Amino acid sequence: MLPRDVILTGPLILRPPVESDAGEIARMCDDPVTARFMPLLPRPFLPEHALDYVNGAAARWEAGGATYAITRDERFCGIVTARPPDHWDVAELGYLVAPWARGGGVAAMAARALTDWLFDQGVRRVQLEAEVENVASLRVAYKAGFLEEGRRRDAKRLRDGRYADFVMFGRLKGDVAGPAEPYLPFFEGGFERGELTDGVVRLAPLAPGDAGDFNRMLAEPTVAAYAMAETSTLEDDERRCRYTGYWWASGQRIELAVRDAASGAFAGHLQLRQVAPVMGQAMIGYSLVPAFRGRGYMSRAVGLLAEWVFAHTALHRLTAGTDVTNTASQAVLERSGFRREGVHRELFPKVDGRRADEVTWARLRPS
Ligand SMILES: CC(C)(COP(=O)(O)OP(=O)(O)OC[C@H]1O[C@@H](n2cnc3c(N)ncnc32)[C@H](O)[C@@H]1OP(=O)(O)O)[C@@H](O)C(=O)NCCC(=O)NCCS
């Protein structure tokens, strides 16, 4: 059984919960973000639910787990828990921070401290999982020194009946748990609010609300003509839009909606993918809705993204590949500072079985 130690970490004190925490626990759990990402909690979450939770904590300790209240300056600010270590000394972590304490590093500090403490108690491996859309929780996992280990598709059902994918993380006792500075930071203002704009176009994360426009655009014949895969279904594209935050937070790719700044209308899609930190290289890809073509929107969008990339990431080379026949796309790259580098013969598989030559382009970090 784990000892009921008090854990001190930075400005936080982790201690077993007490009855007087129940009011704050009720307020914390009756919040829309909590309800969204913790679908098994009662909704509405009432004071009696909070009291049951506090009273049940003793039994959870007895069963071999750990339930800690996180406090800062003597104020309750969240809960961090460990399930009883299993037969192989593997424990599972969970965390929840009150709305009034979010965004200050509380969850990451508490998760890291509880994990370190579990290792001191003989636990060998600590794991946790977060929904692909729970970007704050994904960041917490990276910041607390966890490594991503894979995904579980359709792992849990949400309140709206939909099944969601979860990202699995683990930390082993011997892991060097350094500070996880993201390779691809979010735009200034954070994942949900950050955007890039020049007053004409606006770049913001591709969101589930864009799935319909995105799907229609991909099916449009002049877009589909340059696609390497069969046209995707609306369901595929909705799923893809839900992955934007996870792909970005994990440094794999950035998926953006290009919007008309004046109206907010969806004008197209711009992505940064094939991110290869060891090479300092990533590739862009894009498509524009026909109604927004001929106005220089994609050249502006690519220029904005390229400038941001060189100002905020360690990338040295931005590349792009266009079908040799796609002169409109080649003009976008020329206008946005890319130089032609060569031709890959028969690179692009087409849906009709032919293969097209690809012209490669690159824009380098300014010296
Ligand atoms: C997930 C949660 C515990 C994070 O708590 P927290 O103390 O705010 O976390 P931290 O401050 O340590 O880190 C949050 C990170 O996510 C970012 N973040 C916060 N809100 C965000 C949001 N809505 N979208 C994207 N990122 C967000 C923060 O900027 C921070 O990252 P950064 O340091 O790179 O800037 C809290 O949001 C919460 O309780 N959510 C509901 C319950 C839950 O989801 N629990 C986890 C289930 S797996």
The answer to whether position 87 is within a domain reads: yes
Per-residue model confidence (pLDDT) at position 226: 83
Per-residue model confidence (pLDDT) at position 227: 79
CA distances from 337 to 276, 318, 319, 320, 334 (A): 21, 10, 11, 12, 6
11 Cβ below 6 A of ligand 1: no
Name the token pair of 135.
């970007």
Q: Could you tell which of 45, 72, 97, 127 is best to mutate to test the pocket of ligand 1, judged by most ligand atoms within 8 Å of the CB?
A: 97
The closest-lying atom of ligand 1 relative to the alpha carbon of residue 102 is 8
Are residue 238 and residue 311 in the same domain, yes or no? Answer: yes
pTM for this predicted structure:
0.95
Are residue 149 and residue 233 in the same domain, yes or no? Answer: no
Per-residue model confidence (pLDDT) at position 352: 80
The answer to whether position 95 is within a domain reads: yes
162: which residues sit within 8 A by CB, 6+ positions away?
none
Are residue 147 and residue 231 in the same domain, yes or no? Answer: no
Name the token pair of 332.
């976008």
Are residue 120 and residue 222 in the same domain, yes or no? Answer: no
Per-residue model confidence (pLDDT) at position 349: 87
- The rounded distance, in Å, linking the Cα atoms of 74 and 62 is 26
Q: Are 301 and 258 spatial neighbours (Cβ–Cβ below 8 Å)?
A: yes
Residue 254: domain span? 196-364
The answer to whether position 142 is within a domain reads: yes
Are residue 33 and residue 141 in the same domain, yes or no? Answer: yes
Are residue 20 and residue 92 in the same domain, yes or no? Answer: yes
Are residue 66 and residue 205 in the same domain, yes or no? Answer: no
Q: With helix as H, strand as E and coil as C, how does the chain read?
A: CCCCCCEEECCEEEECCCHHHHHHHHHHHCCHHHHHHCCCCCCCCCHHHHHHHHHHHHHHHHCCCEEEEEEECCEEEEEEEECCCCCCCEEEEEEEECHHHCCCCHHHHHHHHHHHHHHHCCCCEEEEEEECCCHHHHHHHHHCCCEEEEEEEEEEECCCCCEEEEEEEEEECCCCCCCCCCCCCCCCCCCCCCCEECCCEEEEECCHHHHHHHHHHHHCHHHHCCCCCCCCCHHHHHHHHHCHHHHHHCCCCEEEEEEECCCCCEEEEEEEEEEECCCCEEEEEEEECHHHCCCCHHHHHHHHHHHHHHHHCCCCEEEEEEECCCHHHHHHHHHCCCEEEEEEEEEEECCCCCEEEEEEEEEECCC
Task: Indicate the residue among 172, 187, 217 that finishes a domain.
Answer: 172
Are residue 126 and residue 272 in the same domain, yes or no? Answer: no
The answer to whether position 261 is within a domain reads: yes
Are residue 77 and residue 26 in the same domain, yes or no? Answer: yes
Task: Indicate the residue among 122, 137, 172 that finishes a domain.
Answer: 172
144 Cβ below 6 A of ligand 1: no
Are residue 209 and residue 162 in the same domain, yes or no? Answer: no
The answer to whether position 185 is within a domain reads: no
- Which CATH number goes with the domain that contains 74? 3.40.630.30
93 Cβ below 6 A of ligand 1: no
Are residue 85 and residue 41 in the same domain, yes or no? Answer: yes
The answer to whether position 187 is within a domain reads: no
The answer to whether position 74 is within a domain reads: yes
The closest-lying atom of ligand 1 relative to the alpha carbon of residue 128 is 48
How many domains in the chain?
2
Measured in angstroms, how far is the CA atom of residue 102 from the centroid of ligand 1? 7
Are residue 269 and residue 345 in the same domain, yes or no? Answer: yes
Q: Could you tell me the strand order of the sheet in which 339-349 lies?
A: 196-197, 201-205, 254-260, 266-276, 281-288, 317-323, 355-364, 339-349
Stretches where the chain sits below pLDDT 70 are: 177-180
The closest-lying atom of ligand 1 relative to the alpha carbon of residue 129 is 48
134 Cβ below 6 A of ligand 1: yes
Per-residue model confidence (pLDDT) at position 230: 75
Measured in angstroms, how far is the CA atom of residue 196 from the centroid of ligand 1? 22
